[in-house]
Amino acid sequence: MVIGTVALFWFGQWGWGILAILVTIIAWITVFFNEKMLIAQWFLRKERMDKAEVWLNKIKNYEKELVSAQHGYYHMLLGLIESQRAPLQSEKFFKKALQMGLHMDHNVALAKLSLAGIAMAKRNKREAEKLLAEAKKADKNKLLEEQIKMMKSQMGMMDKQQFRYSR
């Protein structure tokens, strides 16, 4: 497709060449990124969890349908959806996503931040602090800085409550 696009430009067919560039980009995206995952991510950004889940459920066998680099992201999306329904049940998805590998640092930070929240809900402060530190380290672009601060303050409040109950 790239060679055909170059040939169109070479022979002066600019309109068809621009159209061919667009078609080539769309073909490239659908080869490397599963369209069902892209649509599910779009619905997640729109906070339409039900529709995102429908699109993720259309992926019947993720090991065959997705490129191996997408396996971790598939589990992360499932974890994000499950965290809205039953936060403690989403832990397995986030752990599997980290195990399978996430290539972008902010996604690693998001998974670890979510796991820290689950550990905090389970009253496992040591694990939550460790995961928060790892999330902060992975968040190089400071995209989750506000959420990390908020979770640290919630942990501080949790300490005060435990101190009150221990008296």
pLDDT tens-digit readout, 35-77: 888 899 999 999 999 999 999 999 988 888 888 888 999 999 9
Neighbouring CB atoms inside 10 A of 11's CB total 10
Q: How many domains does the chain have?
A: 2
- On whether both 85 and 142 belong to a single domain, the answer is yes
Are residues 9 and 44 located together in one domain of the fold? no
Q: Are residues 116 and 48 in the same domain?
A: yes
What's residue 161's pLDDT?
64
Burial (0-12, 13-18, 19+ Cβ within 10 Å), 45: exposed
Do 55 and 27 have their domain in common?
no
Give the residue numbers spanning the domain of 121.
34-166
Structure letter (DSSP) for residue 89? G
Are residue 67 and residue 83 in the same domain, yes or no?
A: yes
